[in-house]
Amino acid sequence: MRFPMRTSRGGFLPDTYDVAHDLCFVVHDILAQLLKSGEEGGFFRTTITFNDEADRVSFEQAEDIFDWLEETQRLNDRTSILTTTVFPAILSDMLHCIYEALESSRKAKLNVTYMLVRKPIQESLFLLETIVVNPNDFAAKLAVDPLKLRGEKAGGLDAHTRRIQQVLEKLGEEGRFSAEYIAQLRYNKSEEDGFDGICNLAMHLFTEHRAIRTTPLNINFIFSGWDEKCTQWAYLYSRLPYLLIYTHCVVEHLCERIAPTHPTYLNDMQRRIAALAVLWREQMEPAYVAEPIDKLVSYNRDWLIGHCLSAGYPAPSESDFVKMAFTGAFPREGKMKVLLRNLRYRLRAALNRRSARRVRQ
């Protein structure tokens, strides 16, 4: 079956990766819209409440706001200011990298893709996970010694796995993702099924780690022909969607603390991601199938069936998955109802922008 793809037109990307490419872009677009709505609605702002007039005067006279926050023991205010400032900035930077990585992939520039992928999945996502696990500890480290927020300072693979397990527990997503597999994909240079090794090969002309040591008469990635590019595409699109779906869960959890997403909109976006995940698995090459990915897809399929039934619609078929992936439509849901729902999203966003303008004035 051919799918109505939006993002993979042009370039050199083989058709077999259309669904995975679109899944990655759909997650990117949802997160980009979340960021845009938050900025337009003024949600990434923090209000400090003064105890009395003397408190306000001392704040206005302070040379450094963070010194004042520490001296007055307003550590919760410090955490709030730093998280609402850092979160959108980190997310924006992540999305720039992911967008350019996907566009480079479409143009068969796989070395650029893997260079760009490394930062968001290793460093940026690590920072967001740190905020999820302990926002006060994140703020304290950022204020005193930011180098302690580097992922490579967090310990080995076991430490990364423990941190990610804590994140999954806070998100309530232990049934959907594997902490061990997420850590392996992001940080295990010695594991063939992992991004760290291939990203390092893409970044450096020569590598000496035993697992990715440059072979004689070779320069990393420079001599990649079409067969090598196909292998690089196959790995990228069999694994990156897994990490991006996890990233979406982390970002939504953090947004819930700052500006909760309307449940109707959240469910609509989750339907699209889950439906695309089911279609993605159907197109995956057998050699790249992995148990954690099957677990994720099975969870999404079961969630979609239960979600549709509880909303009064039949269980989705394959053709329903295709329609749902790009419109959010329930099985047998009328086009007008879908259009009205999307119109409500736009109206709600416009009202948020208008409300934010009034507050700034």
Tell me the per-residue pLDDT of 96-115, one tens digit each, with 9 for 90 and over. Answer: 999 999 999 999 999 999 99
User: For 30-37, which contacts have Cβ atoms below 8 Å and span 24 or more sequence positions?
Assistant: 30/248, 30/269, 30/272, 30/273, 31/91, 31/94, 31/95, 31/247, 31/248, 31/251, 32/95, 34/251, 34/252, 34/255, 34/261, 35/88, 35/91, 35/92, 35/95, 37/349, 37/352
Give pLDDT, residue 361.
47
Q: Which stretches of 32-139 are assigned E, i.e. beta strand? A: none
For residue 326, which amino acid is it? Answer: F
What is the band of 235 on the pLDDT scale with cuts at 50, 70, 90?
very high
Tell me the average pLDDT across 188-217. Answer: 92
pTM of the predicted model, to two decimals? 0.91
Distances (CA, A) of 254 to 34, 169, 270, 284: 11, 14, 16, 31
Q: For residue 257, which amino acid is it? A: R
Asked if 274 contacts 57 with a C-beta cutoff of 8 angstroms, the reply is no
Residue 143 has pLDDT above 80, yes or no: yes
Cα–Cα distance, 86 to 103 (Å, whole number): 26
Q: pLDDT at position 259, please?
A: 79
Confidence of residue 95 (pLDDT cuts 50, 70, 90): very high
In the prediction, which pLDDT does 358 show?
52
Kindly state the tokens that stand for 68. Answer: 């004042």
% of the chain beyond a pLDDT of 90: 72
What pLDDT was estimated at residue 42? Answer: 85
More confident residue, 146 or 211: 146
Mean pLDDT over each residue of the chain, to the nearest integer? 91
User: How far is 39 from 37, CA to CA, in rounded Å?
Assistant: 5
Per-residue pLDDT band for 7 (boundaries 50, 70, 90) equals very low
Element (H, E) at 346: helix 335-360
Under the phi-then-psi rule, with left for phi > 0, alpha for psi from -120 to 50, and beta for the rest, what region is 217?
left
What's the distance, CA 92 to chain centroid? 11
Contact predicate 233/17, CB 8 Å: yes
245-294 pLDDT, tens digit per residue, is 999 999 999 998 887 888 999 999 999 999 999 999 999 999 999 999 99
DSSP 175: T
